[in-house]
Amino acid sequence: MIEGLSHLTFIVRDLDKMEAVLTTVLDAKKIYSSGEKMFSLSQERFYDIGGLWVAIMSGAPLAEKTYNHVAFKMGPNDYDDRLARIKSLGLHIKEERPRVDGEGRSIYFYDHNNHLFELHSGTLEQRLHRYSKT
């Protein structure tokens, strides 16, 4: 039986740059670094982001940007602060897709390795409720 999400792993060119993204934008707490040791495929670091285990491993970045993404929940009043944090790191911000009222707000941004992240203020329940009205 599936109990839920275990962890997310991102392969990145520069562990320090990705750590800056995770800690600055997503308030990640670093909980482990392999240093020069390799217990897995390469050097790795583990973080806690809102109770979720997120791992980063050294390796080749994604070849291109896509819409495949991971979305983290933010509060409805966090938009401006999170946007400023993303801009402070010089990350590429993707234009938000059109939304209907009541769906929440999102910020989409790419890290230095072409991973797309979304910060979203809505919930599944809100989205389903809004979509049921059309």
Residue type, 27: D
Instruction: Return the pLDDT at 62.
Output: 94
Instruction: Return the pLDDT at 127.
Output: 78
Band the pLDDT of 68: cuts 50, 70, 90.
Answer: very high
The β-bridge partners of 58 are 12
Residue 44 designated active-site = yes
Q: Which residue has the tokens 């670093």?
A: 30
Say how far apart CA 105 and CA 119 lie, in whole Å: 8
pLDDT one-digit tens code per residue, 69-104: 999 999 989 999 999 999 999 999 998 776 667 677
Residue among 3, 19, 36, 44 flagged as catalytic: 44
Give the class (CATH, top level) of 7-131.
alpha beta
Domains of the chain, by residue range, sit at 7-131
pLDDT at 116 over 90: yes
Under 8 Å between Cβ of 113 and 12? yes
Instruction: Return the pLDDT at 2.
Output: 80
CA dihedral 66, 67, 72, 73 (to 10 degrees): 160
Of 110, 114, 121, 26, nearest in space to 64 by CA: 114
Instruction: Return the pLDDT at 23.
Output: 98
Under 8 Å between Cβ of 112 and 14? yes
Under 8 Å between Cβ of 104 and 120? yes
pLDDT one-digit tens code per residue, 2-52: 888 999 999 999 999 999 999 999 999 999 999 888 778 899 999 999 999
pLDDT at 58 over 90: yes
